[in-house]
Structure 1
Amino acid sequence: MAATARSTSKKAPRAWQRMLSGRRLDLLDPSPFDIEVEDIAHGLARVARWNGQTIGGHAFSVAQHSCVVEEIAAHIRPGLEPKWRLAALLHDASEYVIGDMISPFKAALGVSYKDFEARLEHAIHIRFGLPAKTPVEIKKLIKEADKACAFFEATQLAGFTRTEALGFFGKPPAGYDLVIDPLPAPVAQQRYLERYRVLAEAVGLVPAPDAWHTE
Structure 2
Amino acid sequence: MAAADRTSGKDRAWQRMLSGRRLDLLDPSPLDIEIEDIAHGLARVARWNGQTIGEHAYSVAQHSLLVEQIFNRLVPDASIEWQMLALLHDAPEYVIGDMISPFKAVMGGNYKLIEDRLESAIHLRFSLPASISASLKKLIKRADQVAAYFEATRLAGFTETEAIKYFGRPRGFDPAGLDITPRPTQSVQNDFLARFATLDQARKK
Q: TM-score when scaled to structure 1? A: 0.88
**Any idea what the Cα deviations from partners look like across 1:21-65, whole Å, max 9, x if unmatched?**
000101111000000000000000000000001111001000000
Note if 1:199 corresponds to 2:202.
no
Whichever of the two has the greater Rg, that structure is: 1
Residues 75 and 176, structure 1, Cα contact 8 Å, conserved in 2? no
Pair 1:14–1:123, CA change in 2 (3 A): closer
Runs of 4+ in structure 1 deviating by more than 3 angstroms, as ranges, are 8-14
Deviation at 1:11, TM superposition (A): 8.2
Identity, % of aligned pairs? 61
Pair 1:14–1:168, CA change in 2 (3 A): same
Residues 53 and 156, structure 2, Cα contact 8 Å, conserved in 1? yes
Deviation at 1:13, TM superposition (A): 6.3
Deviation at 1:12, TM superposition (A): 6.8
CA distance in structure 2 between the partners assigned to 1:12 and 1:28 by the alignment: 10
Residues 148 and 173, structure 1, Cα contact 8 Å, conserved in 2? no
Q: What RMSD in Å do the two structures reach over aligned CA positions?
A: 1.9
Deviation at 1:94, TM superposition (A): 0.1
CA distance in structure 2 between the partners assigned to 1:40 and 1:158 by the alignment: 24
Aligned to 2:76: 78
Report the residue type matching 1:127 in the other structure: R
Q: Secondary structure at the match of 2:26?
A: coil
Residues 66 and 179, structure 2, Cα contact 8 Å, conserved in 1? no
Pair 1:173–1:196, CA change in 2 (3 A): farther
Aligned to 1:208: none
Q: Give 5+ residue unaligned stretches, structure 1.
A: 1-7, 206-215
Pair 1:36–1:160, CA change in 2 (3 A): same
User: For 2:90, which of 89, 92, 101 is the aligned residue?
Assistant: 92
Q: Secondary structure at the match of 1:25?
A: strand
Q: TM-score when scaled to structure 2? A: 0.92
Residues 48 and 61, structure 1, Cα contact 8 Å, conserved in 2? yes
Aligned to 1:16: 14
CA distance in structure 1 between the partners assigned to 2:16 and 2:36 by the alignment: 13
Q: Give 5+ residue unaligned stretches, structure 2.
A: 1-5
**Any idea what the Cα deviations from partners look like across 1:160-200, whole Å, max 9, x if unmatched?**
01111111111225242036210111011001001000111
